[in-house]
Amino acid sequence: MTLAPASDELTAGATSRRRSARPEGRPPGRVPIGYVFVSLYTLLALAFGIIPALYAVVLAFTTTDGGFAGFDNFVKVVTDFRFLPAVLHVTLYLVIWLVMLVIFVVILALIVHAVKARWAGTTLRFVYYLPGALAGASSVLLWLFVLDPTASPVSGLLHLMGLNSFVQVIQPGNLPVIFAIIAFWTGAGGWIVIMYGALNNVSTEVIEAARIDGANAAQIAMRIQLPMLRKWIAYMGVMSLAAGTQLFVEPQLLSQASNAVVPNDYSLNQLAYQYAFQQNDFNGAAAISLILLVVALLLSWVFVTRGGLFEKE
Amino acid sequence: MTALSTQPRRDGRLRSWSGRSVAGLILVLFVLFFVIPIIWLLFAVTKSSRALIVSNPFSIGSWTDFMANWNQLFGFQDGAVTLWIGNSALYTLGALAITLVVSIPAGYALALTEFRLRKALLVLTLVVMLIPSTALVLPVFLELNTVGLIGTPLSVILPMSFFPFGVYLTYIYFSTSIPRDLLAAARIDGCSEIEVFTRVALPLAAPIVALVAFFSFVQNWNNFFLPFVMLPSSDGYPIQVGLTSLLSSTPAFNPSSAGSDSVQLPTLALATIVSILPVLVVFLFSQRYLVAGMTAGGTKE
């Protein structure tokens, strides 16, 4: 549930402000009042943003007794027999989830946007959005029920697919799809609402003109609306990719609910957790966290600096 | 001539009619997908564990069964669930209060004042806002572990209070909706910088305070990974982490747990509802805010 940064606006605003004659909020000869207002926030940003990140760097490059370790910790975790499977699990999950997200969110947003009746559009958006209230452990728990053929509301469907017991449902091969469905169920609605908002920004005159020129709904969607959604789709993709690499609560709970049929080192974050809490190897845990953090930072950085994603039409 | 021109039009209408029914079908299918689990959950809590498996999934059970589930849930480990809900409230509201005190002035300063590190702080806010909050959980754990804060309420409240997204929202709001002339006028009238903020800007910022509060509350109430890592003892669990205790006491998912303090499936379903009830209530009452907030950054005037 994050919001699109209008990064070009930030920079544009900053430069125009700098050009303004008198910087506001700075009485001559005193500490700028801005420092007072941001002091607490800066403190928190240092304590829970910058320092932990730097500390993780330090830990990742030191040995247990504090000596310099070079890349030993990274070599250790990467060559760990659980590392590669975890990367594969997360990658597979990401591919399935992102494809689902892009296709269905865009289609649903386009259709909901085309619905004429106001009440119907509002209701649909709300219904799609509602599962967002069940994040984290609650949604996983709910899906445990849905996936258990003995209690499931869609047990007929599960039996039809040849899945007659919970253990059959959660076979390793099915897990990426299951996690993708859970994530889609919780998160898609928010994105549909965002895409819907973006579609509202497409000027009605353009669409009307296309219609007069003889374009049908599908052509309007493909030729006009879709290109205008591109930056939002990119935004959704980058954000979801970053969030998806962090996979933790779904496999963690499923592992607990399946008597470890689902391993407790299924995802990378779980592996980092195992290093910290089972093996008491904080250096190894820091190394994995750092790898994940760097991935997240890179994605976020690309997004902030590549203003192209948010340039004005 | 006329025959030629009407032919394609009828074709087009036919195609658009079938297109519309396909679109309608997709909408309905996804409504079912999103809603069925929730509807089912509401029915499930009114059933006994036998009825849950035997009866129609969408039939209603009985009040007595509902009360039995209720009593089992709140009797679990001598009222652990009540304790967990209390913990959730403490962490969430504590973080909410600090977030507001910290973020609103920061967003204001970033938007409407000049100071040297302004740009750097803005970029930092943006970058941290865009990385998933879970990415910093283990590093924060490692840090707090060295200062011995693990297991205390502060170990979750303080990291939750660092909320760059709230600062960003406030920043956008103040830079787009507050006329600078208004602040300048207040200065000319003799307001100090603090007074400009508290007397002029803050009263105008009620909508953004509500929005930041909403996002902070929802995100922190649902947070799982952070408290899961920071709080080793069951006494300190928020309800989201408490759910894992309930889950491991459910024989249906964990056969080894069959015993006196075990949890039946309908009770676990009830726990799921109870755990999200506050968020659900907030959701229902602030739909308008939500939509506005999520699209705020993207609207270009």
In a domain, A128, yes or no: yes
Min mean pLDDT across A28-42, A129-143, B40-54, B98-112 is at: A28-42
- Across residues A99-112, what is the average pLDDT? 94
Check CB contact under 8 Å for B122 and A3: no
Partners of A211 on chain B (C-beta within 8 Å) are none
Check CB contact under 8 Å for B19 and A216: yes
Q: What's the confidence (pLDDT) of residue B53?
A: 85
- Across residues A230-242, what is the average pLDDT? 87
pLDDT band at A116 (very low <50, low <70, confident <90, very high): confident
The full set of domain ranges for chain B reads 16-69, 76-296
CATH code where residue A129 lies:
1.10.3720.10
Partners of B106 on chain A (C-beta within 8 Å) are 37-38, 40-42
Min mean pLDDT across A7-11, A85-89, A243-247, B68-72 is at: A7-11
Q: How far is A62 from chain B (nearest CA, A)?
A: 14
Partners of A154 on chain B (C-beta within 8 Å) are 36
Provide the H-helix boundaries in A20-135.
33-45, 51-60, 72-79, 83-114, 118-129
In a domain, A23, yes or no: no
In a domain, A3, yes or no: no
| 3-class DSSP assignment, residue A62 | strand
Partners of A282 on chain B (C-beta within 8 Å) are 142, 145
Spell out the residues 6+ positions from residue B288 whose beta carbon is closer than 8 angstroms to its own.
none
| Chain B nearest-CA residue for A123 | B31
Check CB contact under 8 Å for A134 and B168: no
In a domain, A288, yes or no: yes
Q: Does pLDDT of A23 surpass 70?
A: no
Which of B142, B172, B176, B221 should we substitute to test contact with A (largest number of A Cβ atoms within 10 Å)? B142
**Spacing of C-alpha A268 from chain mean position:** 15
Which of A44, A73, A248 should we substitute to test contact with B (largest number of B Cβ atoms within 10 Å)? A44
Q: How far is A70 from chain B (nearest CA, A)?
A: 19
Partners of B92 on chain A (C-beta within 8 Å) are none
CA quadruple A147, A152, A154, A157: dihedral sign: positive
Which of A118, A129, A138 should we substitute to test contact with B (largest number of B Cβ atoms within 10 Å)? A138
Q: What's the confidence (pLDDT) of residue A118?
A: 82
Min mean pLDDT across A93-102, A215-224, A299-308, B107-116 is at: A299-308
Question: If phi over 0 gives left and psi between -120 and 50 gives alpha, with beta otherwise, what is residue A259?
Answer: left
User: Distance (Å, rounded) from C-alpha A276 to C-alpha A271?
Assistant: 9
In a domain, A12, yes or no: no
Radius of gyration for the alpha carbons in chain A, expressed in angstroms and rounded: 24
Partners of B135 on chain A (C-beta within 8 Å) are 242, 246, 289, 292-293, 296
**Spacing of C-alpha A196 from chain mean position:** 19
More confident site: A34 or B70 = B70
In this complex, the residue of A44, A50, A285 whose CB is nearest that of residue B138 is: A285
User: Distance (Å, rounded) from C-alpha B242 to C-alpha A62?
Assistant: 35
Cβ(A108)–Cβ(B27) below 8 Å: yes
- Concatenated DSSP letters of A210-251: HHHTT--HHHHIIIIIHHHHHHHHHHHHHHHHHHHTT--HHH
**Spacing of C-alpha A221 from chain mean position:** 26
Domain carrying residue A44: 37-310
**Residues facing A68 on adjacent strands:** A62
Q: How far is B278 from chain A (nearest CA, A)?
A: 9
- Concatenated DSSP letters of A109-126: HHHHHH---HHHHHHHHH
Check CB contact under 8 Å for A137 and B103: no
| Chain A nearest-CA residue for B162 | A44
Q: What is the pLDDT along chain B (301 residues), one digit of tens a residue?
A: 444 444 445 555 556 678 788 889 999 999 999 999 999 999 999 999 888 888 888 888 899 999 999 999 999 999 999 999 999 999 999 999 999 999 999 999 999 888 888 989 998 998 888 888 889 999 999 999 999 999 999 999 999 999 999 999 999 889 888 888 888 898 899 888 889 999 888 888 888 898 899 889 999 999 999 999 999 999 999 999 999 999 988 888 877 776 667 888 999 999 999 999 999 888 877 766 655 555 544 433 3
Check CB contact under 8 Å for A136 and B223: yes
Cβ(B131)–Cβ(A297) below 8 Å: yes
Angle separating helix axes A136-147 and A175-200, nearest 10 degrees? 120
Number of compact structural domains in chain A = 1
Torsion (CA) B163, B167, B168, B171 in degrees, nearest 10: 180
In a domain, A189, yes or no: yes
Check CB contact under 8 Å for A56 and B142: yes
User: Distance (Å, rounded) from C-alpha A134 to C-alpha B42?
Assistant: 14
- pLDDT tens-digit map of A156-192: 899 999 888 888 898 888 999 999 999 999 989 889 9
In a domain, A89, yes or no: yes
| Burial (CB count within 10 angstroms: exposed 0-12, middle 13-18, buried 19+), residue A196 | buried
Q: What's the confidence (pLDDT) of residue B10?
A: 52
Partners of A312 on chain B (C-beta within 8 Å) are 300
Q: What is the helix (H) or strand (E) element at residue B214, kind and residue range? A: helix B206-221
**Residues facing A62 on adjacent strands:** A68
Partners of B247 on chain A (C-beta within 8 Å) are 141, 144, 253, 256-257
Question: What kind of architecture, by CATH, is found in domain B76-296?
Answer: Orthogonal Bundle (1.10)
User: Distance (Å, rounded) from C-alpha B177 to C-alpha A112?
Assistant: 30
In this complex, the residue of B26, B132, B247 whose CB is nearest that of residue A256 is: B247
In a domain, A84, yes or no: yes
User: Distance (Å, rounded) from C-alpha B292 to C-alpha B288?
Assistant: 6
Spell out the residues 6+ positions from residue A36 whose beta carbon is closer than 8 angstroms to its own.
B105, B109, B193, B194
Question: If phi over 0 gives left and psi between -120 and 50 gives alpha, with beta otherwise, what is residue A70?
Answer: left
pTM, whole model, 2 decimals? Answer: 0.86
Question: If phi over 0 gives left and psi between -120 and 50 gives alpha, with beta otherwise, what is residue B258?
Answer: beta
- Across residues A60-65, what is the average pLDDT? 91
ipTM value? 0.85
Check CB contact under 8 Å for B124 and A49: yes
Q: What's the confidence (pLDDT) of residue B177?
A: 81
- Across residues A37-42, what is the average pLDDT? 94
